[in-house]
Amino acid sequence: MITPKVSVILTSYNHGQFIDKAIASVLEQSFEDFELIVLDDKSTDNSSAKILGFDDSRIRFIKNDHNLGMVRNVNKGIRMANGDYIAHLNSDDIFFADKLKKQVKFLDENLEFGAVFTGVKLIDKEGANFTDEKHPYYHAFEKSRNQDRYQWLNYFFYNFNCLCYPSVMVRKTCYDNVGLFNPSYTIMLDYDMWIRICRKYQIHRIEEKLTGFRVSDLSASCSSDSKLINGFEIKKILRNYVSNFLVDELKMIFPNFNKSNISDLRYSILKSCFDLTIRHKALAAEYLLDLINSEEDLKIINDNNITLEDILRLRKEILSLQQVSFSKDEKQKSILSRFQNFLNQV
- Per DSSP, the residues of 14-27 read S-TTTHHHHHHHHH
- Let me know whether 181 and 327 are in one domain: no
Residue 83 lies inside a defined structural domain of this protein: yes
Q: Which of 173, 188, 218 is the last residue of a domain?
A: 218
Q: Residue 251 is part of which domain span? A: 225-345
Q: Are residues 211 and 230 in the same domain?
A: no
Residue 56, number of CB atoms within 10 A of its CB: 9
Rounded to whole angstroms, the Cα distance separating 182 from 204 reads: 22
Q: Indicate whether 34 belongs to any domain.
A: yes
Distance of alpha carbon 288 from alpha carbon 346, whole angstroms: 14
Are residues 209 and 257 part of one domain?
Answer: no
Average pLDDT per 10 consecutive residues for the chain, totaling 346 residues: 92 96 98 98 96 97 96 98 98 98 98 97 94 85 88 96 96 97 95 98 97 76 68 92 94 91 87 89 83 69 76 71 46 50 46
Across the chain, which distance is largest between two alpha carbons, in Å?
71
Please give the Cα distance from 196 to 184 (Å, whole number). Answer: 15
157 and 208 assigned to the same domain: yes
Residue type, position 95, single letter: F
* Structural domain count, the chain: 2
Cβ contact 115:166 at 8 Å:
no
**Claim to verify: residue 98 and residue 128 sit in the same structural domain:** yes
Do both 213 and 101 map to the same domain?
Answer: yes
In a domain, 1, yes or no: no
Residues 12 and 74 in one domain: yes
Q: Are residues 167 and 274 in the same domain?
A: no
- Position 66 in a domain: yes
Cβ-based neighbour number of residue 333 at 10 Å: 13
Burial of 247 (0-12, 13-18, 19+ CB in 10 A): middle
C-alpha separations of 156 from 143, 238, 241 in Å: 11, 9, 10
Q: What is the pLDDT of residues 148-196, one digit of tens each?
A: 999 999 999 999 999 999 999 999 999 999 999 999 999 999 999 999 9
CA 221 and chain centroid, separation: 12
Digit-coded pLDDT (tens) for 75-103: 999 999 999 999 999 999 999 999 999 99
267 shares its domain with 162: no
Q: Which domain CATH number covers 211?
A: 3.90.550.10
Can you say how many angstroms the Cα of residue 111 is from the centroid of all Cα atoms in its chain?
23
